[in-house]
Amino acid sequence: MTTANPTPDGSTGSSTPDGLLSNPRARQASKFFLATLVTAIIATLVPLFISWTQSLAGDSDSPPLDIDVSYGYQYNDPLCAGSWIFPGLKKPPQPTEPEISSNWAHKNNGIDSGETDLILSIQGRDSSAVNLLSMRVTQVKKVTMPKGATGGTPGCGGSVKQRVFHAYLGDKNPKITEIDSSNQEVKTNGSLTYFVTDEETERFVISAVNMSGEKGEYTECDCMIQWKIAIDWAHHDKSGTYIVDDHGKPFQTSSASWTGPRYVWLPDEQRWAL
């Protein structure tokens, strides 16, 4: 039999079996259950707090700058987007947007054909300056060319954005070289003279080609080159290297030679044409 016992304020509380709380064994079992529950909760929460504390400790040693990376092109004309190999396909996928772009191509597993264009937006995390010391190509690896249809834009022209850099990935030791407004190399031996803060940002446009430019002889390897970018920085009494890549994976730049049918995107007709 169960009854509804009145609470001290006169309201009706939850019902309990008669004599349950007055039973010594019941009270002992209840205490054991509560102790077990508290132990289980503590055992669950402690690892979470330790993990969180370790994450905060790790963040304190991270680079004092953020770099937003996107695939892009040097020119204002969207017809300069480039060309890509789509491995395993006989025809490039149909775009879901009016103008194709490098970001669209990479989302559809496209691999840059001949050239990779990147835009790096670099910003500090506070008002103190982070000096950008140098920028270079790193972790270079040559692999077999993928086979598939090639799709690209018909070609373009336009003005070059500021802070433009160029790299010959096929060189024995690839370097990233700055290009001035007259399209001439700036002789800096790879060093940089820029700095960033939380209000002062830099925007680098990097064009990396699957080609060797050593000794003025421009040759292309029949391969795909995988690579990353290393940016050396200094901030107060600390220094380090920021590795720029594609979500942990290397950038990939194939030869401009075709391993399948070659298509060109016709924006007015919204279709690919051979």
Tens of pLDDT, residue by residue over 161-212, are 468 899 999 998 899 999 887 777 887 777 898 999 999 999 999 999 999 8
Q: Which of 21, 256, 40, 269 is nearest to 150 (CA)?
A: 256
The pLDDT, as a whole number, for residue 153 is 82
Asked if residue 1 belongs to a domain, the reply is no
Parent domain of 48: 16-59
Task: State how beta strands 201-209 and 115-124 pair.
Answer: antiparallel
Are both 228 and 243 inside the same structural domain?
Answer: yes
Residues in the chain, pLDDT under 70: 1-61, 73-80, 155-162, 215-216
The pLDDT, as a whole number, for residue 15 is 42
Within 13 Å of residue 220, how many CA atoms lie on the same side as its CB?
16
Are both 125 and 46 inside the same structural domain?
Answer: no
Are both 190 and 251 inside the same structural domain?
Answer: yes
Are both 25 and 157 inside the same structural domain?
Answer: no
- 231-259 pLDDT, tens per residue? 999 999 999 999 999 999 999 999 988 78
Angstrom distance (rounded) from CA 115 to CA 205: 13
The pLDDT, as a whole number, for residue 249 is 93
